[in-house]
Structure 1
Amino acid sequence: MTDSYVVRYVGGPLDGRVDTLATVPGDPRSTVTHVHLHGGPKIVHHYDLHYALEYGCEYRLREI
C-alpha cells in the first residue's frame, strides 16, 4: 500500500475539496488562486499554503 499525498482546501468556494496525489509534489505552490465566473463580476479567491504533517498540505482561504 502506498501513502498518498492529500491536499485539502479550507474556506471559500473550495471548502471541503480534497485532492489526492500519487506522489509528493516537488515544490507545492505557496498560493492557489480560484477565479469564479458566473455571468456577473469576476470573483477571485486566494488560498495560502499551510503544511499538515499527518497528511500533506492544506490551502486556507486568505483573509482580507
Structure 2
Amino acid sequence: MSDDDDTDAVLLYLGGPLDGRVEVREARHGAPLPTVTHTHLHDGPKVVHHYDLHPLTDGAGVYHLRVEPVPQTVDAESA
C-alpha cells in the first residue's frame, strides 16, 4: 500500500475487540497506518489493544492484534 495510490483500501481486523471488523479507508485519507491503537473503555478499567498492519495487496491488508508477552514472575524459592 503506497502513499501515492488513488484507490481505497479494504482492511480487516483480526483478534481482540475489533475482531472481524472490515474498514474501507478512502484513498483521500492516505495510506493505512502501520499500527492502530484501540482503547476499550466499557464496563471496567481502560484496556489498550494494538493492531499491526500486514499488507496483502496494494488495496487490501489485515490488522493483526499484537500479542504482548506475558510478564514472567520470579518464584521466591527458585531465585
Q: Name the TM-score, length of structure 2 as normaliser.
A: 0.65
Structure 1 unpaired stretches of 5+:
none
- 4+ runs deviating over 4 angstroms: none
SS of alignment partner, residue 44 of structure 1: strand
Measured on the aligned residues, the alpha-carbon RMSD in Å equals 2.1
* Superposed CA offset, 1:18-60 (max 9, x none): 0123437533211100101124110110000110117511110
Contact 1:50 1:59 in 2 (8 A): yes
How many residues in Structure 1 have an aligned counterpart in Structure 2?
62
Q: Name the TM-score, length of structure 1 as normaliser.
A: 0.78
Provide the residue aligned with 1:17 in structure 2. Answer: 21
Provide the residue aligned with 1:30 in structure 2. Answer: 34
Superposed counterparts of 1:1-64, under 5 Å? 4-23=8-27, 25-53=29-57, 55-64=59-68
Identity percentage over the alignment?
Answer: 52
Larger proportion of strand: 1
Q: Distance in 2 between matches of 1:4 and 1:27?
A: 9
